[in-house]
Chains A and B, each alone.
Chain A
């Protein structure tokens, strides 16, 4: 028993504090809401969140299903990982498809070489929230990711249209979370609010959490576009002058295959990735074309109900 509780060598004291805070938040979501779900993208943040959810309710089963909004533009590795991981956690997996929203005429697909289904996810997500009558959607977003997120509450209210009103947020004091809402409204809950990218990697290493291979260095055909390396696949329309070439890369975030940039890297183990993160001089979202559309791109999308 004692050995089981002993911390791994690289585990720092504050990781325990962050873990405990996140578990407290997960349990508040379970205690205050009827039908919470975890928004599961297959990325490392939602993997860590789901991992913590299993701990939060042990020795009982994980209290939430995982909800994945499938853009149809995912990395295949991320999807197979998703299915394996859900089984390992013993969690129910719900998948809703952006393609269905397109087929139903709920959204219109962007066209052209810069087309992305990233923004369309919002409609599919809000439809899924309504269909499943979700009153709390838990996400792995962190406040250090982006400046609009830095001001978002841990329990973040959404009106009946799924919208966020950044100027009218409920004050959040101590660890008292007010999740009271009217029918049709819901909450987004962010248990990892106070984690940084480095904390996430440290925790993954300390806990030995499984990850999709995409995060580790591998050879892959990529194209260079706007300073970012994009994975080359059928989903990419080549611009004049672009030729795919095989490079040794890894991904720092895993989102839509059409917009997530890779970085050149030889880091193929968790310690190597940690060392790389410490040395990194750009934030992880800098590889995300969706954030670079304008200075307030994230705030605008969040207002509309984005993740």
Chain B
């Protein structure tokens, strides 16, 4: 069980969302005495009789003045079993972007429903966005049960209605819990007012829940920077976003398509034999391969797609609308390149995820777009790998972050694929082949083996098994097929785009 659970909540003060968080903090004894005194003081000065636990979470002046949550706030509490990070976000339509932001790093969403009002579009919206962002466990807190006489019928009605919706969206797991955040029923302690409820109280559930694993892609390490303390060491620093790697394992370098083996690994500063998903590593390769920030170390057997054209769902965060033909900078893993919006496929209804035609996307709109990038990106679908499947767009004029995106499909080919991946096939004469080999040698400083078509199969097989023997120095850019001009265009392309940020 992971010791850290990141959860996202969304809702307005009316739902009692802030009160729920306040209650979790208060009842788990995570609120300190001076915070309590400060809330008591603030509650009194606002003319409130009771203790407004919502004041714990609404930190900015404007929020206190307007009695709403504007921004994402992060809260922390721990129990003996787990540490919790709560991303607390507003629920109104005009704050969809904050909801998306808070949910982007969450393992689990807590969706609030007011028992008196039933399922409103705000609750549906939060479920829809959670599903879109790949949340695999949702907890629906049916709040204010005290105001409907702790009625099981009311609770079951809401459960039926929302379960129907989550099933349609394909959310793997949904838990419904009847609570009263104000009075504390089923938040930390089991409620004595709802004997019909057989499930666990909220906190107990959160302490015990296991987030279902998703199918993730192979080893990925986006290079953040190169560490070079002296001539004899060159390490690629980055976080392992998926998979694992051990000393001696074969490893591919995304931009050049070259392959080498792991010579040494550091994890969090110490020498290690292995680096696993989530760890901050430095990887040294056996061969001297040129790579820098914006490149990626990958599993040669299960590489990301190399693409300069892909379809994605975006949430528009910017003030100026998204339009077809506009240019942005894309931040994807550690890579930054220019992109153009080639096509706006559809807008997506935030409450139902249904598509509808649109000419532009405005702030807080969701939509499906096709983007084309100036140099290739190395991507996985978001639902297989949120790290290599997510990106943000930046307005080059203002540097503002204007969109959050999730890649659904790429139109590139898997050039680093395990089959036939380190051979170059092209239609030409032997002379031309040797000339190409010479240019490659000069460009990359490695030896290149030239095989005629009769031996190509042997070369492919060797490469497919992870042997780079035939291509000493681990040289050859992968799966290049075409005439000589095509080849050179592709090679120059990948050569010139390694500058990242």
A residues apposed to B, CB below 8 Å: 1-2, 4-5, 12-14, 16-20, 23-24, 27-28, 30-32, 54-61, 143-144, 147-148, 150-151, 166-167, 169-176, 178, 180-182, 193-194, 196, 198-199, 280-283, 286, 295-296, 299
Contact = CB atoms under 8 A, between A and B. Distances in A.
Given A17-B278, A60-B235, A31 B501 contact: yes
Contacts of A198: 78
B101 A182 contact: no
Contacts of A199: 83
Given A20-B278, A196-B78, A175 B387 contact: yes
B334 interface: yes
Interface string B243-287: 000000000000000000000001111111100001110100000
26 contacts: A5-B271, A12-B3, A14-B83, A19-B280, A23-B268, A23-B280, A24-B224, A27-B224, A30-B224, A54-B269, A55-B269, A58-B270, A60-B227, A150-B75, A151-B59, A166-B71, A167-B70, A170-B401, A174-B104, A174-B105, A178-B331, A178-B392, A178-B394, A178-B401, A194-B74, A196-B76
A27 B60 CA distance: 30
Contacts of B272: 1, 5
Nearest to B395: A180
Contacts of A55: 268-270
B59 A173 contact: no
A143 B74 contact: yes
9 A-B pairs with the lowest CB-CB distances in the bound complex, closest first:
A55-B269, A147-B59, A14-B3, A23-B280, A14-B4, A286-B34, A58-B269, A13-B3, A60-B227
Contacts of A144: 75-76
B372 interface: no
B339 interface: no
Contacts of B225: 27, 30-31
A61 B268 contact: no
Interface string B486-501: 0000000000000011
Given A5-B270, A31-B225, A174-B105, 17 more contacts: A4-B270, A17-B2, A20-B280, A24-B224, A27-B224, A57-B227, A60-B235, A167-B60, A169-B71, A170-B400, A173-B392, A174-B387, A176-B392, A178-B392, A194-B76, A281-B32, A283-B32
A59 B233 contact: yes
Contact of A193 (B74, B227, B266): B74
B60 A59 contact: no
B229 A59 contact: yes
A281 B331 contact: no
B125 interface: no
Interface in B58-85: 59-62, 70-76, 78, 82-83, 85
A299 B41 CA distance: 18
Contacts of B239: 20, 23-24, 175
Interface centre among B74, B100, B104 (most CB of A within 10 A): B74
Nearest to B331: A176
B267 A5 contact: yes
A166 B105 CA distance: 21
Contact of A31 (B33, B38, B293): B293
A5 B266 CA distance: 10
A172 B386 CA distance: 15
Interface centre among B228, B329, B501 (most CB of A within 10 A): B501
Given A283-B35, A286-B32, A174 B280 contact: no
B48 interface: no
Contacts of B394: 178, 180
A13 B501 CA distance: 33
Given A1-B271, A59-B229, A296-B61, A172 B101 contact: yes
Interface of B: 2-4, 32-35, 38, 41-42, 56-57, 59-62, 70-76, 78, 82-83, 85, 97-98, 100-101, 104-105, 224-225, 227-229, 233, 235, 237-239, 266-273, 278-280, 282, 293, 317, 329, 331-332, 334, 386-387, 390-392, 394, 399-401, 404, 500-501
A182 B400 CA distance: 11
A151 B224 contact: no
A54 B270 CA distance: 11
Contacts of A18: 4
A144 B78 CA distance: 12
A143 B235 contact: no
Contact of A1 (B42, B273, B331): B273
A198 B79 CA distance: 12
A171 B404 contact: yes
A133 to B, nearest CB: 18
Contacts of A281: 32-33
B18 to A, nearest CB: 12
B414 to A, nearest CB: 24
A267 to B, nearest CB: 18
Given A24-B280, A176-B391, A299-B60, A59 B235 contact: yes
Nearest to A193: B74
Nearest to A285: B34
A187 to B, nearest CB: 11
B268 A57 contact: no
B399 A178 contact: yes
Contacts of B56: 147
Nearest to A172: B101
A27 B34 contact: no
Contact of A27 (B38, B70, B238, B273): B238
A14 B392 CA distance: 27
A301 to B, nearest CB: 13
Nearest to A17: B4
A55 to B, nearest CB: 3
A178 B336 CA distance: 10
B101 A173 contact: yes
